[in-house]
Each structure stands twice: as structure tokens, then as C-alpha cells.
Structure 1
């Protein structure tokens, strides 16, 4: 068997065996911070605009990004990993542009598909989505997600969504 094929098979086996840590980006619903934004509608429009930035960034490679579905989260996870996104782009641009876009996109999917209630906050990392008896912190997840190529696996958007879905009822 050629060496490149053996390496590929080992890598596939490693990825299949990998189990990411449980998401920590949540609080019990009774610990939710109240909204502190003066204009909730303006905040919602801002979050929607941020999510559109992700659509604009990935639409050519990931057409499913338009749909804002749980399945599109998996496609986004793969594309960022495949493109080695955190290794290729400058940290300043990732933190200023990509992290808010990813967090807002994750927020959209949680709200649309799990009936999540959005709780706006002035600080993005404190913004929350109430799903069942938990509030999820999509921008905090996005920040952890965009640290390294490995963190794209360890803090995947798909995993957080599935965990929220599991605790939905």
C-alpha cells in the first residue's frame, strides 16, 4: 500500500475517533443575563447583517450557507477546516469580522430551527439564545471556534447546535 494512502487512512481513523469536549458555552436559563440594549429591533437587524457577512464570505464554496440550516453548519465547519481559515488569515481580521459573523450565523440557526429566544446584549460575547432550560452563547462559541484549525473541530458549530437540540425539550 502506498505511504500516502496509509497516511490518509490513519488521518481518517483519527478524525473518526475524535470526540470533542462537551460545549461549555451555555448557562441555565435562570442565570440568563437580561437584555441591555436600548433598541432591540436595531440589535436584531445588526445580528442579521453580521450573519449575512458569513453568507457573503462562503456562498461560492458553500451554497447551503444561504439556507441557514443545521446541515449548513456542518458545511461551514468543513469549509473553514478545509481552508485552514484560522491559519491563513490575520488574527485581527478574524476577531473583528469572522467571529461576529460566525456567532450571528449560529444564532440565526438556533433561533430558526429550535425556536430559540434571542436575548440581545451590548457585548457580543454575552449575547444569548434561550433554548429550553438553557441559554447558549453563540458569539463566545465563535470566538473559541476561530482560534486554530484544531479548535474548528473541538468547538464546531454543528456540535453546539446538536447539544442545544438535545436539551431543547
Structure 2
């Protein structure tokens, strides 16, 4: 295991995460993406939670406005559209497989868990299952790594470039 790429999580971060999630955050190993105001947007989560549970979702989207925007897209059946694109565009499919492999490499930095070996998140590498997970990966890894996560973010009403943390119902 190499040195984690994240600075230690602060007590202030954990307090914001508790407010965002409505419960204490579990297994946080770092803040993988932040709002422009500095609040957590995506946490990196240990592949094995403190209670021993395997947890494949390494990049966990926590920002309430971002999670709500992904829920809206899912309710509008955008996953079907993105799945159709994945099925017909070989370049997107290849990039999505690379995103899956990158996700697994990132998580492996924090330990290997046999129960989730080869399993990333969001349906990668062959289908689109959870836009929250894919957007979380796209935000953490940066543009160009996860094509489906990038597309979901571009289609959503939420933007990582605009803070809405202080608005009612946004968790800030």
C-alpha cells in the first residue's frame, strides 16, 4: 500500500458529513472532492468498514444537492439512455472499462477485500446502474476519467463550480 493521496480528515469535515448524510460517516479515508466552498462533496471510503462489512463504493457522493440531482436523472430514466450509448459506442465502452480499472486501483491503495475483488461501482464496466457512484468517481478522478459520470454531471442541474451549501435543504 502506498501513501494515501488525501490529507487527514478533519473533525470539521466529519461534522459536515454527518449533517449531509444524517448519520455519522463510516470508514472515511479521505475527502476525494470538495465543493468550491471547501465542504466535502465525495468521500473516499475504506473497502472494509470498521464493522468488517465489505464496501465496494470507494467514492461516495455526499453533497445533498449533487445526490438530489443524480436522483432526478435516475427518476428521468437517464440511465437507460446512457446504457444505450455505452452499448453502441466502442470508444465510450473502452473508456468506461478504463474507468472501472482506475477505480479498482484507487480503492486497492486502501486494501484488498476478497469479497469485492473485481467489483467497482455504478455498474462498471459493462452497465450503468448508479449515477451517484459514477458522478462521485468523476468528481474525485477529474474530467475525462469516467465518461458516464462526466455525462451524468453535465446533464444534471447541479454544478461542482457553484456552491449551494448554504441554501436550505442542501445540507450546508
More helix by share: 1
TM-score of the superposition, structure 1-length normalised?
0.31
TM-score of the superposition, structure 2-length normalised?
0.31
Asked which structure has the greater CA Rg, the reply is 1
